[in-house]
Structures are given as C-alpha cells and as structure tokens.
C-alpha cells in the first residue's frame, strides 16, 4: 500500500491544475522538508469536509489528487510552493497526523481520451468561458480569467475546464469523483449551468 504525505485544503485540486501554497504551519514545513530530497517531490491534497486548514482536527474527504512540486522559494516569511495536480487517489486509511498528516492511498484509474467527445468538450469550454466573462462583467472578480490558456490534451483540458469553473468546493469535489471523461464533461456543464441560473435568479429577485 502506498503511503503519501497529505495537505488538506479548503479547495479541490484537479489533475493538470496549478497549485500555489504559502506554507507557514510547522507541520507542513516539516512535510516539505521531508519530500524535497525525493526524486519527484509529491504530496496529496484532499478537501476538508469540516474544520479548518490550520491547527488540525479537521474531517476530510477520501478522494483527492497528488500534487507534484515544481518550485519552492524561501523568502522572508512563508514558504512559497508551486505544484501541479497529478493523479487522483482514494484514501484507504488515515495515519497519525504527527509530525504531519499521512495516509495510505490507492490510485484511481486515469480518465481515457475519447476523441468522439471533442465537440462536447468544446461546448463545455464555451460555457465555462462565457460564465467567467459574465462574472467579470458583473464585477465579481472570478478566480480565473476567461481567456486563460489550457492544455491541448483533451483529458487535461477537460480537467482544467472543471477546475476553472466558478463553482463551490463541494460541487468541485463531486466532479473530481467522476468515473469517465463523458461523465465529467456532462456533469461539469450541467452543474455550472444550474449554478449560473440560480445565481441569476438570486440577483434578479433579491430577498
């Protein structure tokens, strides 16, 4: 069974998505120190179901994504870590949180490229970019710009479209657990369209 250091967060990391962290908590500084000498420094990211990112004692979802460390900078202050989402996994057992969170994991199958879905992915991209443009025009400052460049790889591009979709962490967690590319494309589009409709209704009909 594979054992992996874990970094529970208040957001979901998707495959092929960037991750920027400011590491200041002692246990995670120890974790970074323990993995940086490895050939491929890697840790796992899971969404916190209940609790806080700081201090421990949180409850966590079981499905997460590995984060491959790309760059580490140590200016005066918190450690700056840049990583990229890798492969999805499921936690089979949580281990002791001392000196930092660890878990036994099992990798989930990677989604396969389905060329017949290229048009569906293109339609999803149109929906996502229009949603980001709409939120920007409403001065709601979406996290990702509507014109962000994405991977040419169909599977990576789909994960990235899901990752930049302006949805909440619980919706993102549900999407992370999709079993096929077809399911991911359909679920992301339906979830986003429904969320935007609810948002527009709340804007047009304030309580």
CB 126 within 8 A of CB 101: no
Residue 79's nearest CA partner among 7, 132, 183, 137 is 7
What are the pLDDT digits (tens) for 1-48? 799 999 999 999 999 999 999 998 889 999 999 998 888 899 999 999
Query: What distance in Å separates the CA atoms of residue 164 and residue 146, rounded to the nearest whole number?
Result: 9
CB 66 within 8 A of CB 46: no
| Vertex 187: Cα angle to 182 and 193 (nearest 5) | 130
Within 10 A of 148 (CB to CB), how many other CB atoms are there?
A: 12
Task: Name the pTM for this structure.
Answer: 0.91
| Vertex 77: Cα angle to 71 and 80 (nearest 5) | 15
What are the pLDDT digits (tens) for 72-121? 988 777 889 999 999 999 999 999 888 999 999 999 999 998 889 999 99
Cα separation values, 190 from 76, 87, 123, 177, Å? 44, 24, 12, 15
As beta bridge partners, residue 50 has 59
What are the pLDDT digits (tens) for 114-171? 889 999 999 999 999 999 999 999 888 899 999 999 999 999 999 999 999 999 999 9
Residue with tokens 């460390």: 69
């Amino acid at each position: 069974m594979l054992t992996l250091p874990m970094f529970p967060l208040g957001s979901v990391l998707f495959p092929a998505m960037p991750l920027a962290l400011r590491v200041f908590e002692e246990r995670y500084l120890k974790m970074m120190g323990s993995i940086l000498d490895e050939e491929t420094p890697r840790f796992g990211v899971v969404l916190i179901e209940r609790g806080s990112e700081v201090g421990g004692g949180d409850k966590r979802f079981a499905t997460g994504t590995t984060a491959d460390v790309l760059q580490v900078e140590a200016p005066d202050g918190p450690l700056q870590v840049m990583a990229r989402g890798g492969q999805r996994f499921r936690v089979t057992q949580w281990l002791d949180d001392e000196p930092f969170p660890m878990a036994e994991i099992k990798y989930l199958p990677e989604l396969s490229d389905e060329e017949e879905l290229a048009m569906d992915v293109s339609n999803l991209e149109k929906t996502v970019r229009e949603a980001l443009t709409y939120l920007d025009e409403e001065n709601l400052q979406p996290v990702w710009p509507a014109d962000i460049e994405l991977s040419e790889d169909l599977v990576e591009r789909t994960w990235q479209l899901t990752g930049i979709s302006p949805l909440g962490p619980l919706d993102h967690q549900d999407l992370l657990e999709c079993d096929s590319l077809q399911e991911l494309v359909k679920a992301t589009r339906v979830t986003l369209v429904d969320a935007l409709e609810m948002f527009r209704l709340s804007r047009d009909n304030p309580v």
